Amino acid sequence: MTESFGARLRRAMDERGPLCVGIDPHASLLAEWGLADDVAGLERFSRTVVAALAGRVAVLKPQSAFFERFGSRGVAVLERTVAEARAAGALVVMDAKRGDIGSTMAAYAESFLREDSPLFSDALTVSPYLGYGSLAPAVALARESGAGLFVLALTSNPEGGEVQHAVRADGRTVGATVLGHLAAENAGEEPLGSFGAVVGATLGDLSAYDLDINGPLLAPGIGAQGATPADLPRVFGAAVRNVVPNVSRGVLRHGPDVVALRDAASRLAEEVAAAVAGA
C-alpha cells in the first residue's frame, strides 16, 4: 500500500466528514436489536452496521473483544467484518488496545498490520504503558504497510488519570510524554501523520497539553459518555480539525433499521462538521 494511513484518513474525513462509528456488539445491544447473544446474532449485527454505514462514514471501529468472546467463530466474523467494511470504502480502525514487548508486540502487530493478515486494518489502537519504546515493532510495521496507530494518551475513562496525569521526574505528565513521541513520529508528514492519539472528548479543558501532533486524535466520549459535537472546539482547540470523534451507542441504538442507522450517523456527522467549521 503506497499511500499512508494519514493521507487516506485526511481524504476520507474531508469527503465523508470526520466521524468514526464503533461496531460494539455487546450483549445488551444485541438484545435491543432483538438478536440472540450468539455467533449468528453477532454476524447479523455486524453485517447490518457495515451495510448501513461503510459506504458513508469515514471510519468504522470494531471492538475486537466483543468478537473474541465467541472464540474462533467470533474472530471469523471479525475477519469478514473488516474485509467487507474496507471493500465498501470505510477505513477500519481495529480497537484491540494491544500492548506488550519484543516478539510478542511484533506478533500482535502482524495480526492486524501485516497486509496479508485476515485481520489487516487501516489502523490499530495500542497501549504505550509498558513504555512508548515497546511499541517500536508496531510503529515499524505500520510504516511498512501504510497503516496507522492510535496510541492511548488521555483517555475518557476516569481511572486513566492516575497514570496519564502522573508527573515524571522531568516535570512532564505521562500523557504529555506520549503526545510528544507521536509528534516526533509525524514530523514532516503531509497532509497528516499516521500516528494518532486517543484523547477523550469528555476531558474538558486540555489547553495544558500540546495536541498539535500533526496526526489524528481519536476522541471517544461522544453520546453515551456525555460529550457532544459542540464540545469539540473547547476541548481540542486549534487541533480540532484533526479530531476523529468516535460514537457507538449514539448511532447503534437506532438499529437494526438500516435507514435509521444511516440517518443517525448523518446527523452526527453534520453536527461535527458544523462544530469544526465554526471553531
Mean pLDDT by 10 residues, the chain (279 residues): 91 95 97 98 98 98 98 98 98 98 98 98 98 98 98 95 96 98 98 98 94 97 85 95 96 97 96 88
pLDDT of residue 2: 75
What domains, with CATH codes, occur in the chain?
A: 5-277 (3.20.20.70)
pLDDT of residue 222: 87
pLDDT of residue 1: 57
Q: Are 123 and 93 in contact (CB under 8 A)?
A: yes
Q: How many helices (H) and strands (E) does the chain have?
A: 12, 8
Q: Computed from CA positions of residues 107, 112, 3, 272, in that sequence, does the dihedral angle turn out positive or negative? A: negative
pLDDT of residue 249: 94
Helices (H), 170-257: 174-186, 232-236, 249-252
- Which residues does the annotation mark as catalytic? 97
pLDDT of residue 195: 98
Nearest to 172 by CA among 132, 229, 134: 132
